Amino acid sequence: MERNKLKNLVLYHLERILDENGFDVRAYRPSFLMRHIESRVKWLGMKRVEQYPLYLESHSEELQNFLDSIFIKVTSFFRDSTLFRDLEVLVFPELLKKKGRYLRIWSAGCATGQEAFSIGILLWEALKSAHNLWDVQILGTDINEKFLEKARDAKYSFNEIEGVNPAILEKFFKSIDGRNFEIKPFLKQWMKFDKHDFLKNEGFPGQDIIFCRNVLIYLNQDAQNNLVFKFVRSLSDSGYLILGKSEIMLSEAASLFTPVSFSGRIYRKRSAAKGVKSGKTSFSY
């Protein structure tokens, strides 16, 4: 059989089997899914990729193995330093003018929590001595419960905190045994980590900033577009959406935002985008 037809057939069966088991992976790019199928095939020592759907169907543990392989947890503290500099200079000073003195920040696809804690650290520093005057909640969500357990635990190894500025380390982390470190309780009190699939479910309204970094690249264009519209509905007026360094806002949704920084991929919701009701452009300017 022609190679492309074969791939489509394998993908068709993979999506069908996962769907029957409650996991809809159609939103992910076919090339992304195929790469992970090929790597599982290699790992399992199979000769041909078309053997995989049958194996998946007859080995229930392989379902989880495949899902674990596509929910990539690569992350780190202060990942993409340009973004964090832009947050400090361009975003936080604007947000801190807010009269109500409360902030809601959502890290969607937070993996093991480093992104959410980095945001918290930067915000704590920006608030100087006014922490007690502000009501802050940083919500980290992910589809993978194992990642969230680690985020809630807030314990990181020496390797995981590599590159964190020593003064930040001293102020926000306590050493457990010299090789492992835990986020201090005063910062943890701002954090909440919940399981949430942003493809299946609506978001959380009233957010001042939504971070969704290094996930969009794995999704097909329709799913990316729908997700950005969901984020528009979750953002408060003039709220910020922050994407990953290699992620580009799709044209349909781009008109709902004003770019604040291209290097940091920061976009600000235009007030005309208030009335967005669905995943389609059902609003006017």
With CB under 6 A as the contact rule, the residue among 126, 161, 168, 199 that binds ligand SAM is 199
Q: In this structure, are residues 62 and 46 in contact, taking their beta carbons and an 8 Å threshold?
A: no
Give the x/- contact pattern for ligand SAM in 101-120, rule: CB under 6 A: --------xxx---x-----
Indicate the residue type of 27: A
Give the distance, in angstroms, between the CA of residue 155 and the centroid of all CA atoms in the same chain.
20
| Helix-then-strand count for the chain, H and E | 12, 10
Shortest distance, position 214 Cβ to ligand SAM, whole Å: 4
Scanning 3-11, 35-43, 71-79, 246-254 for contacts with ligand SAM by CB under 6 A, the matching segment is 71-79
Scanning 14-22, 196-204, 248-256, 261-269 for contacts with ligand SAM by CB under 6 A, the matching segment is 196-204
Of all residues in the shown chain, the one whose CB is closest to ligand SAM is 109
Decide if residue 204 touches ligand SAM (CB under 6 A). no
Shortest distance, position 213 Cβ to ligand SAM, whole Å: 4
Bridge partners, residue 196, by sequence: none
Bridge partners, residue 102, by sequence: 135
Decide if residue 74 touches ligand SAM (CB under 6 A). yes
- Reading phi first (left if > 0) and then psi (alpha if -120 to 50, else beta), residue 143 is in alpha
Scanning 127-135, 153-161, 191-199, 277-285 for contacts with ligand SAM by CB under 6 A, the matching segment is 191-199
Identify the CA nearest to 67 among candidates 144, 11, 10: 144
Residue 117 or 257 having the CB closest to ligand SAM: 117
* Residue ranges of E strands in the chain: 102-108, 135-142, 155-157, 173-175, 180-183, 191-195, 207-212, 235-243, 257-261, 266-269
Q: Can you read off the two tokens belonging to residue 91?
A: 């975003």
Shortest distance, position 27 Cβ to ligand SAM, whole Å: 7
Q: What is the dihedral of CA 269, 273, 274, 275, to 10 degrees?
A: -160
Shortest distance, position 90 Cβ to ligand SAM, whole Å: 19
Mark out the alpha helices in 205-270 (DSSP H runs): 221-234, 251-254
Site for ligand SAM in 24-63 (CB under 6 A): none
With CB under 6 A as the contact rule, the residue among 162, 197, 202, 237 that binds ligand SAM is 197
Count Cβ atoms below 10 Å from residue 249 Cβ, excluding itself: 19
Shortest distance, position 86 Cβ to ligand SAM, whole Å: 15
Site for ligand SAM in 138-167 (CB under 6 A): 142-144, 147
Shortest distance, position 178 Cβ to ligand SAM, whole Å: 26
Decide if residue 72 touches ligand SAM (CB under 6 A). yes
Chain positions contacting ligand SAM, by CB under 6 A: 71-75, 79, 109-111, 115, 142-144, 147, 197-199, 213-215, 244
